[in-house]
């Protein structure tokens, strides 16, 4: 997994690399600019594009100057450089690259003392090298005017490292001017803010350019933030050995559904089965029995009534229980949850209405078995742990609650965030907006419960489950990826990852 760094840690990695490789910082800037141009030429191969490069006078601006020179060398012949001289300060590497750029005969350079000096902007594409990770306050004055004007042009904007005005960590504060980039080409690692919903209005997409910073240094930096990678799943997913049998892969029970919401029980059970549990049982109301038997003949039923579970439940035979999808929050569901928590002492997966019930009866949290996995979406998370103004504070709460409760918390989103009892905070990269449809979460609960039953450590069940859930959704490739389609993709996807 990739360590994700704060802007300050990135600067430290920068200094360490310069010292350990005995190179000049201008060489690192040159490396970064080459890496940017490589991706830029893949994305925008048309050399006749009219490009305007807007530069500040810090190192982000220095990158912009080096990028302008390298683009000229790569054959882009219509380049205009605009330098925002809104401050008397400039960095040494900016000045080095300013001198280098001026040696080019046919490059147009305009220096701006104020935003109104910009004039008409006739370019096809704008490269934003105004401010980068050195941002230390919201934009105001001429910076704000310039960014507001650039946004009003509605042109394709490609940002160097990060859109100007977007903080690198805590996400965007509302009401401040921030450049809206079509693409950001970020150095070495994505910024943490890119992975939070607050960046959505300012960034359509990002790519990461390897600029040669010392990887060991980065991986060993202090801090809880990581990005899951495919390799993390390949390393963990166990190959199914010869002589395996259904008992090898555990028995999972899904406590889900109500007469009107049997779909949730069917989806979560099907996901559990397709993710490889040896045996899957669905604890459902009697009215759902026909639907279960007709659609999922492999899944066994534990029929519950208004009065609760049959007295004969043999709790020991289940390796994992997932509870919540479509359960409802009435008194019957509450007593069902109480019975499960009283009788089952291995880690469980709690989702949807099970979480809502705990939110309203918070003393129950004490009975949740240690190492259990909670899978809230944002609203369920806030119901459980209190309202939050922004995602950064949710991250702080997630880290705190996962460690104090000794549970794994899977906070579902575009980049689902997994908090482990050890204090790690992992972002899952897989998934697509096509999965934004009812039942996706039910599928995830079934998948994680399945991995738990198969014997994976609970936090690893959450890593693998979240990753394959998103990756299966990506494989559907349609405008919408229904949970059923996603579930169908699981066996082949997992085989490819395990082989």
Q: Which positions touch ligand LZDS7PUF (CB under 6 A)?
A: 10, 13-14, 28-29, 32, 56, 58-61, 63, 89, 91, 131-137, 139, 143, 160-161, 187-188, 213
What residues are paired with 255 via a beta bridge? Answer: 283, 323
User: Toward ligand LZDS7PUF, which CB reaches closer, 132 or 325?
Assistant: 132
The answer to whether 326 is annotated as binding is: yes
Contact at 8 Å (CB) between 324 and 359?
no
63 binds K ion per the rule CB under 5 A? no
Instruction: Name the token pair of 192.
Output: 């943490």
* Strands of the 348-350 sheet, one edge to the other: 2-3, 225-227, 425-427, 417-419, 408-411, 373-374, 348-350, 320-323, 251-255, 279-285, 300-304
Query: What is the closest distance, in whole angstroms, from the C-beta atom of residue 74 to ligand LZDS7PUF in the complex?
Result: 18
The answer to whether 308 is annotated as binding is: no
**Helix, strand, or coil here: 63?**
helix
Instruction: Name the token pair of 146.
Output: 């310039």
Region at 25 (left for phi over 0; alpha for psi -120 to 50; beta for the rest): alpha
User: Toward ligand LZDS7PUF, which CB reaches closer, 115 or 453?
Assistant: 115
Pick from 187, 182, 227, 217: nearest CA to 20: 217
Site for K ion in 134-173 (CB under 5 A): 159-160, 164
Q: Choose which of 128, 142, 351, 380 interacts with K ion (CB under 5 A).
A: 128
164's contact among ligand LZDS7PUF, K ion, none, with CB below 5 to 8 A by partner kind, is K ion
Q: Binding residues for K ion, how many (CB under 5 A)? A: 5
Instruction: Name the token pair of 81.
Output: 């450089």
Give all strands (DSSP E) within 382-481, no chain letters. 408-411, 417-419, 425-427
336's contact among ligand LZDS7PUF, K ion, none, with CB below 5 to 8 A by partner kind, is none
The answer to whether 15 is annotated as binding is: no
User: Toward ligand LZDS7PUF, which CB reaches closer, 58 or 285?
Assistant: 58
Sequence-distant contacts of 220-224: CB under 8 A, at least 24 apart: 220/3, 221/3, 221/5, 221/9, 221/12, 221/13, 222/9, 223/3, 223/4, 223/5, 223/6, 223/9, 224/399, 224/423, 224/424, 224/425
User: Toward ligand LZDS7PUF, which CB reaches closer, 62 or 198?
Assistant: 62
Site string for K ion, 69-108 (x = CB under 5 A): ----------------------------------------
Query: What is the closest distance, in whole angstroms, from the C-beta atom of residue 78 to K ion in the complex?
Result: 21
79's contact among K ion, ligand LZDS7PUF, none, with CB below 5 to 8 A by partner kind, is none
User: Toward K ion, which CB reaches closer, 30 or 489?
Assistant: 30
**Helix, strand, or coil here: 321?**
strand
Secondary structure element (H or E) that encloses residue 225, with its range: strand 225-227
199's contact among K ion, ligand LZDS7PUF, none, with CB below 5 to 8 A by partner kind, is none
Q: CA-to-CA distance for 310 and 36, rounded, in angstroms?
A: 63
The answer to whether 441 is annotated as binding is: yes
The answer to whether 137 is annotated as binding is: yes
Query: What is the closest distance, in whole angstroms, from the C-beta atom of residue 135 to ligand LZDS7PUF in the complex?
Result: 4
Contact at 8 Å (CB) between 318 and 253?
yes
Query: What is the closest distance, in whole angstroms, from the C-beta atom of residue 180 to ligand LZDS7PUF in the complex?
Result: 17
Strands 373-374 and 408-411, bridge-based pairing: parallel
User: Toward ligand LZDS7PUF, which CB reaches closer, 61 or 250?
Assistant: 61
Binding region: 59-63, 128, 132-138, 161, 164, 264, 326, 377, 412-416, 441-442
Binding region for AMP: 412-416, 441
């Amino acid at each position: 997994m990739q360590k994700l760094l704060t802007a300050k840690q990135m600067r430290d990695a920068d200094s360490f690399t310069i010292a350990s490789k005995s190179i000049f910082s201008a060489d690192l800037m040159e490396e970064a600019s080459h890496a940017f141009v490589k991706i830029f030429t893949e994305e925008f191969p048309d050399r006749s594009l009219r490009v305007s490069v807007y530069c500040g006078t810090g190192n982000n601006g220095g990158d912009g100057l080096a990028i302008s020179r390298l683009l000229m060398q790569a054959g882009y012949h219509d380049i205009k450089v605009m330098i925002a001289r809104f401050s008397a300060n400039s960095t040494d590497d900016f000045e080095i690259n300013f001198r280098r750029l001026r040696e080019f005969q046919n490059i147009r350079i305009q220096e701006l003392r104020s935003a109104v000096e910009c004039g008409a902007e006739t370019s096809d594409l704008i490269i934003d090298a105004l401010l980068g990770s050195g941002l230390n306050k919201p934009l105001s004055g001429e910076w704000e005017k310039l960014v507001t004007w650039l946004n009003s042009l509605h042109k394709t904007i490609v940002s160097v490292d990060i859109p100007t005005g977007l903080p690198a960590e805590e996400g965007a504060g509302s009401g401040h001017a921030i450049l809206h980039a079509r693409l950001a080409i970020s150095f070495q690692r994505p910024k943490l803010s890119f992975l939070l919903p607050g960046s959505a209005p300012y960034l359509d997409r990002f790519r990461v350019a390897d600029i040669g910073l010392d990887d060991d240094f980065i991986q060993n930096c202090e801090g809880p933030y990581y990005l899951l990678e495919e390799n993390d799943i390949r390393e963990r997913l166990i190959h199914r050995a010869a002589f395996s049998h259904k008992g090898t892969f555990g028995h999972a029970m899904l406590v889900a559904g109500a007469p009107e919401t049997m779909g949730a029980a069917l989806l979560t059970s099907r996901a559990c089965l397709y993710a490889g549990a040896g045996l899957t049982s669905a604890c459902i109301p009697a009215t759902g029995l026909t639907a279960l038997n007709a659609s999922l003949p492999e899944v066994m039923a534990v029929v519950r009534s208004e009065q609760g579970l049959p007295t004969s439940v043999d709790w020991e035979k289940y390796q994992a229980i997932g509870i919540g999808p479509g359960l409802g929050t009435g008194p019957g569901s509450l007593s069902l949850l109480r019975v499960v928590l009283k009788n089952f002492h291995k880690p469980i997966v709690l989702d949807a209405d099970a979480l809502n019930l705990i939110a309203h009866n918070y003393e129950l949290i004490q009975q949740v078995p240690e190492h259990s996995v909670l899978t809230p979406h944002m609203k369920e998370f806030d119901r459980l742990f209190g309202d939050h103004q922004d995602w950064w504070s949710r991250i702080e709460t997630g880290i705190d609650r996962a460690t104090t409760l000794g549970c794994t918390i899977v906070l579902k989103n575009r980049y689902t965030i997994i908090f482990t009892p050890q204090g790690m905070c992992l972002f899952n990269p897989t998934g697509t907006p096509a999965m934004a449809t009812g039942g996706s979460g039910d599928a995830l609960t079934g998948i994680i419960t399945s991995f738990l039953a198969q014997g994976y450590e609970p936090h690893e069940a959450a890593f693998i489950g979240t990753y394959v859930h998103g990756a299966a959704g990506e494989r559907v490739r349609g405008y919408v990826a229904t949970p059923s389609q996603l579930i169908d993709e699981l066996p082949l996807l997992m085989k490819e990852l395990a082989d």
